[in-house]
Amino acid sequence: MTTFGERLSAAVAERGPLCAGIDPHASLLADWGLEDDVAGLETFAFTAVEGLAPHVSVVKPQSAFYERFGSRGIAVLERVIAESRALGALVLLDVKRGDIGSTSQAYADAYLDPASPLASDAITVSPYLGFGSLDPFVETARRFDAGLFVLGLTSNKEGPEVQSATVDTGESVAARMFDHLRALNDGDSLGSFGAVVGATIGDATESLDFNGPILAPGFGEQGGTPADIRRLFGDLTVLPSSSRGLLRAGPSVEALAEAAQRTNRELLSGG
């Protein structure tokens, strides 16, 4: 099996850079004329998978929107992961987990071990208990050729309180996180350890060249544009992520597919 970085490079080359979020917000269920219950969740999720997964390199379900329905919602998430992968998309499960010791290992086993029904190609993780707290995730990702996207410079307004604080060298906390990623990705054509960097953060002073992929939320509905992506990230491997901006095209499968294809064309042309 190839590494996550290698699989991602091939997928982006074939399908374009767009990452499609499948996030069943209650408001989106209502927009589609669906009830905010498990039946509505199922219809929404599997329609989105059918419309988006064949046309994008990466599908990103946000776990929380499935977890709120309890075990039946998790069962839907398991199928979203499996069916998206069957349609050729890589799956980045957005869980933002981060803990220490055996708890981190349990999370890693749940989301990265192929024996788990929630196994995905990559997950999002938080390094803000110290980057070393992610060691179980890193080791498990390496064992199973999976990937990680570490929170770096996020688009929420509270983020700079932690991420822009300085460490003993005078660099920002976020820059230190990128240093760790640079070390993990050393020697790989495209490393499997990426970062989350918001498309609406403005000009970053930190170097984003750590030889790994970048997940860029804030694109589309939250105001980020193809021009912003090109200006912020240049020739780096970046996955602009859109959920509501794409999902508002539903509930038509054909309209979802067209929205994904159009957005990919806009990203590839730079706007």
Cα–Cα distance measured from residue 32 to residue 173, given in angstroms and rounded to the nearest whole number: 41
Cα–Cα distance measured from residue 11 to residue 238, given in angstroms and rounded to the nearest whole number: 12
Closest C-alpha among 131, 98, 93 to residue 112: 93
Which 8-state DSSP code applies to residue 133?
G
Asked whether 216 and 230 are in contact (CB, 8 A), the reply is no
Cα 99 from chain centre = 19
pLDDT band at 126 (very low <50, low <70, confident <90, very high): very high
Q: Read off the pLDDT of residues 61-110 as tens digits, 9 standing for 90 and up.
A: 999 999 999 999 999 999 999 999 999 999 999 999 999 999 999 999 99
Q: Which residues, 6+ apart, have CB-to-CB distance to 140 below 8 Å?
A: 105, 108, 109, 112, 113, 146
Q: Which residues, 6+ apart, have CB-to-CB distance to 111 below 8 Å?
A: 93, 95, 97, 118, 119, 120, 123
Say how many C-beta atoms besides its own lie within 10 A of residue 22's C-beta: 27
pTM: 0.96
Q: Read off the pLDDT of residues 143-171 as tens digits, 9 standing for 90 and up.
A: 999 999 999 999 888 998 999 999 999 99
Among candidate residues 79, 96, 142, 182, the one labeled active-site is 96
Fold of 4-270: TIM Barrel (3.20.20)
Which 8-state DSSP code applies to residue 62?
B
Q: Read off the pLDDT of residues 221-246 as tens digits, 9 standing for 90 and up.
A: 767 789 889 988 999 999 999 999 99
pLDDT band at 267 (very low <50, low <70, confident <90, very high): very high
CA distances from 30 to 16, 33, 37, 251 (A): 30, 5, 11, 11
How confident is the model at residue 225, as a pLDDT? 87
Cα 178 from chain centre = 17
Domain ranges of the chain: 4-270
| Residue 157 designated active-site | no
Cα–Cα distance measured from residue 29 to residue 37, given in angstroms and rounded to the nearest whole number: 9
Q: Read off the pLDDT of residues 98-125 as tens digits, 9 standing for 90 and up.
A: 999 999 999 999 999 999 999 999 999 9
The token pair at 198 is 């918001």
pLDDT over 90 percentage in the chain: 87
Closest C-alpha among 242, 264, 247 to residue 45: 247
Asked whether 195 and 184 are in contact (CB, 8 A), the reply is no
Asked whether 107 and 99 are in contact (CB, 8 A), the reply is yes
> Residue 204 pLDDT > 80, yes or no?
no
CA distances from 156 to 38, 96, 153, 163, 213 (A): 29, 14, 9, 11, 20
Quote the Cα angle for 131-209-198, to 5°. Answer: 70
Closest C-alpha among 75, 62, 57, 78 to residue 10: 57
Cα–Cα distance measured from residue 156 to residue 142, given in angstroms and rounded to the nearest whole number: 30
pLDDT band at 248 (very low <50, low <70, confident <90, very high): very high
CA distances from 123 to 13, 43, 91, 137 (A): 21, 24, 8, 9
